[in-house]
Structure 1
């Protein structure tokens, strides 16, 4: 059988013990991070924000195939593809991603969308 806990008597020592903990914490050195001015370095394989890449000539790498949206387990990516015309070319292929949205409230930063992209148009940066 388990022992019943002892009942403490209300008295002077209970609040004094609590103040003792607070008093000790008052003199500890604080560690404050100055975040916007001094950013922490991230690990090389850190999964941060997504980035859509372009070719060196300025055309988009995204062909609007929606494979990244299908691979996303959180359903956080919405891609709407459109066809290129001879007057307006946005990518070297026949299609491009006209609308590309990532809902970061749903994104779990798993990186499956990066692996699914056939043109390597989508990468993850070290920004958080």
Structure 2
């Protein structure tokens, strides 16, 4: 196989100092600035912009209606229609989590419970939201459909301890999810 050497093109003085690119960038910036002053900015109507340009006024206006269907937000645990935990503490989400943001401590279900056929449930379930990268792998790997990524993007706290969501908090933000749960299936 023959080796072909490609010679670099010679640059003139304007190209060496990026003069043409700087001038072109300046004119594009001025074009956008004039359009903003004339209230003709592209996308301003879609975001219901209240001022010049397409800047969203954040606390009053939110992205909720502009969120795409495929958006992955905060992970949360869900219960079924009868407020039973869907999670069986299989720990697959903990093992697959790339930044290791999930920590699960499995617990036993008492033998006198009517659903004692299920081996485990989580005693402790924590997700460190400062580490979570919202990849969705925990949702994909869950065999019981117990963890979902919601469209929630406003996750804040005053310190790091508030950003670690425990089991109670995860169930609060997750709510109920209706549908088949393998864990409670009588035929299983």
- Deviation digits for residues 68-94 of structure 1, max 9, x if unmatched? 000111111111110011456899722
Residues 1:45 and 1:57: Cα distance change in structure 2 (over 3 Å): same
Contact 1:80 1:99 in 2 (8 A): yes
1:58 corresponds in structure 2 to: 83
Indicate whether 1:72 and 2:97 are aligned: yes
In structure 2, what is the Cα distance between the partners aligned to 1:56 and 1:108?
29
Question: What CA RMSD, in Å, does the superposition of the two structures yield over aligned residues?
Answer: 2.8
How far off its partner does 1:55 sit?
A: 1.1
Tell me the TM-score normalized by structure 2.
0.50
Residues 1:96 and 1:119: Cα distance change in structure 2 (over 3 Å): same
- Deviation digits for residues 29-77 of structure 1, max 9, x if unmatched? 3544232332113111100001101011000101111110001111111
Residues 1:83 and 1:89: Cα distance change in structure 2 (over 3 Å): farther
Contact 1:82 1:96 in 2 (8 A): yes
Contact 1:61 1:91 in 2 (8 A): no
Contact 1:59 1:92 in 2 (8 A): no
Tell me the TM-score normalized by structure 1.
0.71
The structure richer in helix per residue is: 2
1:120 corresponds in structure 2 to: 145
Which shifted more, 53-62 or 84-93?
84-93
Residues 1:64 and 1:114: Cα distance change in structure 2 (over 3 Å): same
How far off its partner does 1:107 sit?
A: 1.1
How far off its partner does 1:108 sit?
A: 1.1
Q: Which runs of 5+ in 2 are unaligned?
A: 1-9, 18-29, 38-51, 154-188
